[in-house]
Amino acid sequence: MNELKKRFFWGNSTSSMQTEGAWDQGGKGKSVYDIRKATPEVSDWKDGIDEYHRYPEDFDLMQELGMNFYRFQISWSRVQPKGEGAFNEEGIQFYSDLIDALLERHITPMICLYHFDMPLELSEKYNGFLSRKVSDLFVKFGIEMVRRFGDRVKYWITFNEQNLYNQWGASTFAGNLHKKEGINEVYQIAHNVMMAHVQVANYIHEQTDCKIGGMLAYTEIYPATARPRDIQVAREIQEFSNNNLLDVFAEGHYSQAVLTHIKNFHIDAGFKPGDFEILSKCRSDYMCFSYYRSTVVNSEKIPENCSVDDYLKYGGEGNPYVEKTPNYGWEIDPLGFRDILNKIYHRYQIPIFPIENGIGVQESYYNEEIQDDYRIDYMRAHIQALKDAVEKDGVDVIGYLGWGLIDLPSSAGDMRKRYGVVYVNRTNHDLKDMKRVPKKSFYWLKAVIDSNGKNL
């Protein structure tokens, strides 16, 4: 019977703006997050969980947990304050020391190069990834990072959740602060981001012994009924928001369905001569994705002549057959996770690496261990689903990374929504002492990792 690899990667995933803090220290330039203000509901982005100063302590905790893998992000504006021109050696030294601290603890690093925090100057001057110029600048930044760290860091991804740039709201992720977003702009952002990914990936494959893969936010989409139109609509969403990118990552071409749609609707996607030849060289050493939930699409709610880009906006609905997370109502669906592992692997036969998973819940610390049995249940079910994919379905999975296993502010900047197996003592508007306190799930996960997934 198949089983988890002996050197299966167990670990944690984070972004820089949700962890580092020190937003104006060490020569860092401003990113688009640094101008976001606190509101009654959320924190600002200045302090994170103070990882900039506390990473040795946090890496000790990761080591105690038994983790052998950590995905972190290099903040572009920390190493190149304006996003173009001079690099900031102090910022580069910070990451160099951080990598050494991981390696000393036998934790394999993975670098992510972009997690929505565009250097502010590139947003203001060029509208972020709406401009091909920024795509080219990203390639320069990415290659420089590979040159600096590729001797010690062998695992790379470029963009966190790259399919988010293919949908309405792409501007938010792409640092396009000023330009009104229409359908042409969404497609242009997506293509410019893809050109940036592919050029860094091609460099890695041609010039180094490092590995790189594409990364998506993969939400499982179920048709609301067996009505053929529901099934068609769910398939089209998968094709546009997932397969279109996976096809480039794995095989170097966009989906024919998407190219046909672009042609039929006269969309200006910003394709330039020579682009497709560059794309055609793209390959991935692994396919990465984040997975939190599934959703349902009901074609009856979708207006006639609606573009596929808007299907979920009109047709998305809740699923009465799955449980939801407390506080936030996200669908808990481990079978959806197993299904995605299967879908990607059997389409491309490339190793699969789920690098974000977890449950965000409101929790408070009152000098007693947090009894987060809901988190244990969530992780147990998802790790079991992964094992089933490996053992029963023959999927090649190389690791499992939780999201923010040491608490961090949510994507909206809300410290109330916590994913960690370690509590961080701060709230949205009071930094307190930021003390780290393991929750019950820390000890459960440690036993899982120690047994390489056997003791669930």
Query: By the criterion CB under 6 A, which residues form the site for ligand BG6?
Result: 15, 160-161, 217, 290, 356, 360, 403, 410-412, 417
Cβ-based nearer residue to ligand BG6, 121 or 356:
356
Options 161, 185, 220, 363, the catalytic residue: 161
d(C-alpha 50, C-alpha 409), whole Å? 11
State the pairing for strand pair 436-438/422-424: antiparallel
In the DSSP assignment, the letter for residue 352 is: E
- Measured from the CB of residue 160, what is the shortest distance to ligand BG6 in angstroms? 5
Q: 224-232: long-range contacts (C-beta < 8 A, 24 or more apart)?
A: 224/296, 224/297, 224/298, 224/299, 224/300, 224/315, 224/317, 225/298, 227/299, 227/300, 229/299, 230/297, 230/298, 230/299, 232/299
- Measured from the CB of residue 410, what is the shortest distance to ligand BG6 in angstroms? 3
Cβ-based nearer residue to ligand BG6, 18 or 131:
18
Cβ-based nearer residue to ligand BG6, 175 or 252:
175
Cβ-based nearer residue to ligand BG6, 158 or 202:
158
- What is the phi-psi region of residue 289: left when phi exceeds 0, alpha when psi lies from -120 to 50, beta otherwise? beta
- Measured from the CB of residue 71, what is the shortest distance to ligand BG6 in angstroms? 10
d(C-alpha 175, C-alpha 230), whole Å? 34
Q: Is 161 a residue of the active site? A: yes
- Measured from the CB of residue 280, what is the shortest distance to ligand BG6 in angstroms? 29
- Measured from the CB of residue 114, what is the shortest distance to ligand BG6 in angstroms? 11
Q: Is 391 a residue of the active site? A: no
Options 185, 220, 356, 363, the catalytic residue: 356
Cβ-based nearer residue to ligand BG6, 103 or 412:
412
* Integer angstrom CA distances of residue 65 from 357, 367, 396, 443, 454: 17, 21, 24, 8, 16
Strands (E), 313-385: 316-317, 323-324, 331-332, 352-356, 361-362
Residues that are catalytic: 161, 356
